[in-house]
Structure 1
Amino acid sequence: NWVFLTRFCFLSQDGVFEYDVSYPKSYGPQNFLLYFDSVYQWPAVYKTSKTCDERHKILDNDNNQIISLTNFTTQIKSTHASGCGEYREKYDNNTVWYRCTHYRKFHSYRERWWFIALDNCRSTQGLRLRYKITMTNNVNDGWLRHFSADEFYILHTDLIFTILYYALFIASCFEAYILHTDLIFTILYYALFIASCFEACMQWSPKHIPRDHLI
């Protein structure tokens, strides 16, 4: 009844956690749990023998670390922030589902790791959730926006090395042409050239990234 979903290192003032989730009302109420990297929070619950209730009670809802994914709760602040409503899911025998769409901003005195979990400690049938989560930093910088703070400048580095690689590939193609015209295109260079072509094709091959997940 408790499961870890994802993690992200947010900047101290620029972190945004957005979600678009849906699940059958019969599985509710489910909650997003937002743990940070304090020794008294995430390390105290992950891979421990604590029960679902014990992991839930570690969080303080006054800090908005619990998002109740339902349109009814005794905690008005949590209800307002969850952005939930009911609808009938035609692909599930027209049963009533919750859909919740909203966001949270993170403010702290330093960069922090945040760990997102899901729970429903009263459920007798486990958890069920269709979800899409977007976590961003530095919303004004498109180069860094979707990167965790510990991964900043990875894109820049990858682009530089990709450009250098293709420059080397073009040079090897030119050299292969020269060697071929001079009839000194050796088997060793041919093998290296084929390996270079294969690597270039791998760089351009599309990689499938799922748009949402189901648990």
Structure 2
Amino acid sequence: MLTDWPHVINEASVWKSSVYADESSWIVHFTESQLAEIEQAARQVLASGQGPTSFRKSDFSLPTVASLLDDLLRTLHKGRGFVFLRGLDVTRYDIDTLKIIYWGICSYLGEGISQNAQGEAMSAVTDYGDSFEGNDPYRHNIRAHRTTTEIHPHTDSCDYVALLCVRPAKSGGESAVVSSLAASATRIFPGPGGKRNVRKTTQLPPHPRLQLFQRENVCAI
């Protein structure tokens, strides 16, 4: 059991939104040559007959874009923890090609894993018309991204999450990014004179989950 918890969390991934008020500091625009390279890689995968989630990084050749994605991976792992990519014209491609481009780019940032009971490694965020009583779809084994309910900031059981916007929502659909470490630091390590806001209770939440975190070869719950 770890006993030497730090009193201050001081990492690049601990930030407030005011630090990134300037969008140009965290939005990356693909160049025309980079987009052409990505499109060519997608066409090669299509020609091979492989499906959107059945190929690997080695099948999606990006001779020059790879270095950019390596830089972005370092930003995810050691930096602020999020990136925003722009420039891909989603209207140029059919949905299968878009999925291949999406999966191909993501293959340079990590290994895709199953995200639901159906074993899907890629799932559409859209309203499927799933209905439920109350305000918690998970109580009815329904994923929130299949409904119109608001999804509050949370962490998932993976290292990174990727989203591709294929078309704007009819209404709503805004996304937000939150520094979970900053939120935790504020609650647990509020600074001199501050009050710790950590609730002690014998009551388990409706859906208890053990969340495992690994940092610098140290694993904690």
In the superposition, the TM-score normalised over structure 1's length comes to: 0.25
The structure whose RCO (Cα within 8 Å, separation 6+) is larger is: 1
More strand by share: 1
Determine which structure has more spread, i.e. the larger CA radius of gyration: 1
